[in-house]
Structure formats: structure tokens, C-alpha cells
Amino acid sequence: MRISVGHLYPGYLNIYADRGNIAVLERRAALRGHALEVRPIGIGEQPDLAGFDLLYVGGGQDREQALVAPDLVERAEAIQSANASGVALLAVCGGYQLLGRSYRGRDGSVMPGVGLFPHETVAGTARMIGDVLLECELEDGETRELAGFENHIGRTLLDPGAAPLGRVLFGFGNDGESGLEGCRVGRAIGTYLHGPLLPRNPWLADWLLAQALAHSSNGEPITLEPLADRLEASAFRVAAERARKRGGQR
Ligand code: GLN
């Protein structure tokens, strides 16, 4: 099957090799005989976002975020209706912040957000940097771990009742206080985890592919046959161990 991916602002929001997440989705789709078609979406370009099966936005410094925020907020309605119609989405760090209601950066200026995720972000005083280990529970009730790397000054506060991506086992997470990391709305996932995230967390890559395939096939659930993932599993182990050594267990 063909999976259509809209990659928002790859020229601006691509810090910490977040582009690698797209490469992983392409490879894992191809290994199952599916084709990922990725369309970069730059400032001012107006593709129909509902026509994609998955939208992706990476991270960036405050400066790059401020450059794209006015264009991104113009897409708020389109992104929200794409999410409501089952388009999958992955947003990392700076992109995750701008898909909330707002991000007040280090200089005190407020960047308007899309309002997809029920949260607001305010820059704190100290950067939150290091390896992170999360415990996640998606809708199948199974708990799984996610390992990644965070580097952000923004503190993201989820609204009461908002669904996090996971609970912080080691690291800071959304704000360094709540013990929560990321956010989920339907098939949309936002997270602070860079690395890039997906090479070392193959289960999440496959979860996103399955959501995108379900959208592409008008809602039929798709199972993906498992891959060996030996290299991925050892990359996860290394990252998880680094996070454990960092401490800060909740
Ligand atoms: N500029 C934002 C912050 O510092 C996001 C950083 C990022 O995308 N790594 O919080």
C-alpha cells in the first residue's frame, strides 16, 4: 500500500537528526512491501493536509520555531480536522510545543500554537538535557518503554485529563515536575524525545505505520509482521542504560 507523509518544515525543524525518523518509517514500510511517499511542506505551501496518512514535524531552536510559527498556526484548522479524520501524526520537541496552544520562548515572546495538543509551553531558566526512559501504555493496555534524548528549555504543562505519551522513569519529561512526558490525541503523538526517536524504538515506529496504513485503507486495522530488530533492540538497551545511569527516577 501507498502511505503518504507530509513532512512539515524540514528545512527549519530538523534538530538532532529528527529527519532520521522519516528514514526509519520508509525502511520499515518497504520491508513489509508498502511504499512511503514523503512530501516536504515549506512555508507558504498549501497541500491538502487531509490527503496525507501521516504528518511529521521535527524539533528546532526558538529562532527556527519563531520563523515557522505564523505559517503553522494558519494550518491549525486543517491539522485539527486531519487528526479528527484519522490522519496519524508525530511531532518532536519544538514541533510538539507548537502543536499546543502556545510557546512562550526564552525572550518572552509568545508563539501561537495550533491547539491540537491540550497544553501550553513556557521557557524555563535551565535547559533539560539528557537521556530519557519512559513507560508508555497505548490503547492495547500493554506497557512498553521508550528511550530517547531530550534537550529543551520549554516546560510543557498538560491540561488536566490530557493523555501523556508516557510516565518518566528517568529524565525530565514535559516539565521536570509532573513525571509525565509527551501527549497523545487520537493517532497524534507529541514528544520531547529526539535521538532520533524511532530507530531505537521500533515498536513506536510500527505503531505509527499501522495508524497511517489504517487511514490509507479507510480505517481497516492493519497488522505488520514483526521484524528481527536486533540492532534496534541493542540501540534501545544502550539508550535505556544511559538514562538509568543518569538517575532522576520518578
Ligand atoms: N526551542 C525549544 C526549547 O528549547 C525546542 C528545542 C528542540 O526542539 N530541541 O524548548
C-alpha distances in angstroms, 19 versus 92, 186, 249?
10, 23, 29
Domain count, the chain: 1
pTM for this predicted structure:
0.97
Domain annotation covers residue 249: no
Summarize pLDDT for 136-173 with one digit per residue, the tens. 987 778 899 999 999 999 999 999 999 999 999 999 99
172: nearest Cα among 98, 250, 101, 244: 250
Ligand 1 atom at shortest distance from the alpha carbon of 150: 9
Whether 16 has a pLDDT exceeding 90, the answer reads no
Confidence of residue 248 (pLDDT cuts 50, 70, 90): low
Domain annotation covers residue 176: yes
Q: Please check whether residue 55 is in contact with residue 6, taking contact to mean a CB–CB distance below 8 angstroms.
A: yes
Q: What is the CATH number of the domain that holds 132?
A: 3.40.50.880
Q: Which residues are catalytic, by number?
A: 93, 194
Note the Cα 90 to chain centre separation in Å: 4
Q: How far is the CA of 59 from the centre of ligand 1 (A)?
A: 6
Q: Are strands 54-57 and 183-185 parallel, antiparallel or unpaired?
A: unpaired
Q: How far is the CA of 227 from the centre of ligand 1 (A)?
A: 33
Domain annotation covers residue 250: no
In the prediction, which pLDDT does 218 show? 83
Domain annotation covers residue 112: yes
Ligand 1 pocket by C-beta < 6 Å: which residues? 15, 59-62, 65, 93-94, 97, 151-154
Domain annotation covers residue 171: yes
Range of the domain at 169: 2-244
Residue 177 backbone zone (phi > 0: left; psi -120 to 50: alpha; other: beta): alpha
Q: How confident is the model over 73-92, as a mean pLDDT? A: 98
Domain annotation covers residue 179: yes
Q: How far is the CA of 129 from the centre of ligand 1 (A)?
A: 10
In the prediction, which pLDDT does 250 show? 46
